[in-house]
Structure 1
Amino acid sequence: MKIAFTGKGGSGKSTLAALFVQHLRAVGHRVLAVDADVNVHLAPLLGVAAHAGDALSHPENARRVRTHLLGDNPRIAGVEHFVATTPPGPGSRLITLDAGDPVLAGHATALDERTHVMHVGTYEPENIGAGCYHGHLAILENLLSHLDPADDGWVVCDMVAGTDAFANSLHAQFDVIVVVAEPTPESVSVARRYRELATAAGVADAVAVVGNKVADRMDLDYLERELGVSPIAVLGMQAGLRRARQAGSPPRPEDLDDASPLTRIAERAAVRSLPPEHREALMRTLHLRLAAKGWVRAAHGDVTAQLGPVPV
């Protein structure tokens, strides 16, 4: 199960992602938490220090991960021909959420034997004026597309704020995308735009809105009126959580006035909104679109052959 948390910056998406990870841990699931926000908030919220050398997007780490995923796949000429949308093929190695998986063992911090944390990375001084964070996210796209579909664990990603997921294939990778919305015009505008783009991209059914910092019925009415949809879960102002955070404690479900919204998010995520064949078709379209870019052809050659036959 793959779930993403996004929304306007400051909406509480990172905190909610951390709470959801702790909820999944508490009920016994295997979990991989991935901090994919350029601000790197989720990892520290889970008690993990995010060092630059450990980032998935660090060139050496990204190459190691791709070399492992490549395996003996004859459709890929070499690890340097991996692009963000490169799909698994015959001979590829898939990632499982078991502690012994080489990718988790080499590039994740274990909170316990069933819970691991990774971070994609952020801008470093050498990136100034010479890079885009979308390039950092390519290794996350590879990781998500090479997850073993038979694995019953959970991947929880804290994404970049706003609608950046539509600049790459990430919007097509998740079973559910939770858009966290506060009852403010700015937060609602981001959530509304996200839903519009999801509809255009063919993933509207994967998007679910969660209301956060909702003080009263007027706040909830505002969200429903402005978004044209009822949130699947609503969290109030959460004074207990705020006090815990002010004291420097990591967010825990027991800090919430009512932790049932976490259960409702899990129930919504368990309803896979994108059938496998629909996701595969989307990813195929996105790969061909990327393969046609001049800079991709110049840097990686013709990568269209990385796709298998069109499913009948």
Structure 2
Amino acid sequence: MKIAFTGKGGSGKSTLAALFVGYLRQSGRRVLAVDADVNVHLAPLLGVTADAERALSHPARTEAVRKHLLGTNVLIGGADRFVATTPPGPGSREVTLDPADPVLTGHAVALDERTHVMHVGTYEPESIGAGCYHGHLAVLENLLSHLAIGDGDWVVCDMVAGTDAFANSLHAQFDAIVVVVEPTPESVTVARRYRQLAEAAGTADLLVLVGNKVVDEVDADYLRRELGTEPVATLPAQAGLRRARQAGTSPRLDDVTPLRRIADVVRPVPPQRRAAALRALHLKVAGKDWVRSAYGDVTDQLGPVPA
């Protein structure tokens, strides 16, 4: 399964993603945790130092990952012609959660044999005034589209706050998108907007609304009323989680029922549906003037439509 966590900044999405990774580890699952937030919070929460040299968006790593994914696929035309939506094709290499997979051994930090952590990276001083974080995320999109994960395997991604996932193909890459919502007007507004955009993108059925920092029944009623539905799970405000963050240790929950509820509602997106959505997004990207100028015609990266 591939699951993303998003929400308004400060809603607790990174903490919840870290808790979910911990729950999956306790359940004996193989997990790849990806910190895709520009603020880079998930990796430290899992005890990983997010060095700039180890970031997926570091030019040397981006090139290495794309060369690996390219394999012998002649449709792409070379590792330098990858765009965010470039799909796998004949001869492309898949990425698995096998601990011996070259992408994991070369670009992830192993917490144990079954758990690996990657981070996309953030702005560096040389990028000031001349960089866009969406460009950093392109290699993550390439990685996600080339993933082949087995039964019981999970990819957990901590996303950029807000609705930035709709600026690219990330909203179509996951089996579920957890929108973390605090009982505040600002957080609810972000969740509503996310739902509106997901409906327009055809992915509204993949949203999982989770209430967080709920103090009492008044807060719970507020979320139900403002969201128009019962959140799949609700986590109370817990001082222990804040204390763990202040101490620089991984957060833990005594009661993992909310995390179990999240896992229980996730279902795999049919491969045909995902392939059709990503194909349409690739054609949309291919039509952009800046893409044509920089990469030429990338529509030829698509193979025949699957039967």
Please give the TM-score of this superposition, normalised by the length of structure 2. Answer: 0.98
What residue number does 1:52 align with? 52
What residue number does 2:276 align with? 281
Q: In structure 2, how many angstroms separate the alpha carbons of the residues matched to 1:244 and 1:49?
A: 17
The answer (yes or no) to whether the contact 1:97–1:151 under 8 Å persists in 2 is: no
Moved more, 159-168 or 245-254: 245-254
Could you say what secondary structure the match of 1:180 adopts?
Answer: strand
Q: Deviations over 1:256-282 (max 9, x none)?
A: xx221011111112x23x322111111
What residue number does 2:61 align with? 61
Q: In structure 1, how many angstroms separate the alpha carbons of the residues matched to 2:21 and 2:149?
A: 20
Matched, 1:174 2:171: no
Q: In structure 1, how many angstroms separate the alpha carbons of the residues matched to 2:149 and 2:89?
A: 13
* Number of residue pairs aligned between Structure 1 and Structure 2: 307
Q: In structure 2, how many angstroms separate the alpha carbons of the residues matched to 1:259 and 1:239?
A: 16
* Pairwise CA distance, 1:241: 2.1
* Pairwise CA distance, 1:85: 0.3
What residue number does 1:139 align with? 139
| CA shift in 2, pair 1:45/1:150, >3 Å | closer
**AA partner of residue 57 (structure 2):** S
Q: Which of 256, 264, 274 in structure 2 is aligned with 1:259?
A: 256
Q: Which of 294, 302, 306 in structure 2 is aligned with 1:307?
A: 302
**AA partner of residue 300 (structure 1):** Y
Q: In structure 2, how many angstroms separate the alpha carbons of the residues matched to 1:243 and 1:123?
A: 28
* Pairwise CA distance, 1:151: 5.7
Q: In structure 1, how many angstroms separate the alpha carbons of the residues matched to 2:218 and 2:245?
A: 27
| CA shift in 2, pair 1:291/1:246, >3 Å | same
Matched, 1:291 2:286: yes
| CA shift in 2, pair 1:151/1:140, >3 Å | farther
Could you say what secondary structure the match of 1:89 adopts?
Answer: coil
Q: Deviations over 1:180-231 (max 9, x none)?
A: 0000000000000000100000000000100001111111111111111211
The answer (yes or no) to whether the contact 1:22–1:253 under 8 Å persists in 2 is: no
Could you say what secondary structure the match of 1:5 adopts?
Answer: strand
Q: In structure 2, how many angstroms separate the alpha carbons of the residues matched to 1:135 and 1:248?
A: 30
Q: Deviations over 1:21-48 (max 9, x none)?
A: 0110011000000000000000000000
Q: In structure 1, how many angstroms separate the alpha carbons of the residues matched to 2:151 and 2:275?
A: 17
The answer (yes or no) to whether the contact 2:47–2:249 under 8 Å persists in 1 is: no
**AA partner of residue 264 (structure 2):** E
Alignment of 1:69-84 (within 5 A): 69-84=69-84
**AA partner of residue 122 (structure 2):** T
Q: In structure 1, how many angstroms separate the alpha carbons of the residues matched to 2:79 and 2:239?
A: 49
Could you say what secondary structure the match of 1:235 adopts?
Answer: strand
Moved more, 245-254 or 71-80: 245-254
* Pairwise CA distance, 1:248: 3.0
Superposed CA RMSD in Å reads 1.1
Q: In structure 2, how many angstroms separate the alpha carbons of the residues matched to 1:305 and 1:261?
A: 45
What residue number does 1:234 align with? 234
What residue number does 1:189 align with? 189
Q: In structure 1, how many angstroms separate the alpha carbons of the residues matched to 2:151 and 2:82?
A: 23
Which residues of structure 1 form unaligned runs of 5+? Answer: none
Please give the TM-score of this superposition, normalised by the length of structure 1. Answer: 0.96
What residue number does 1:268 align with? 265
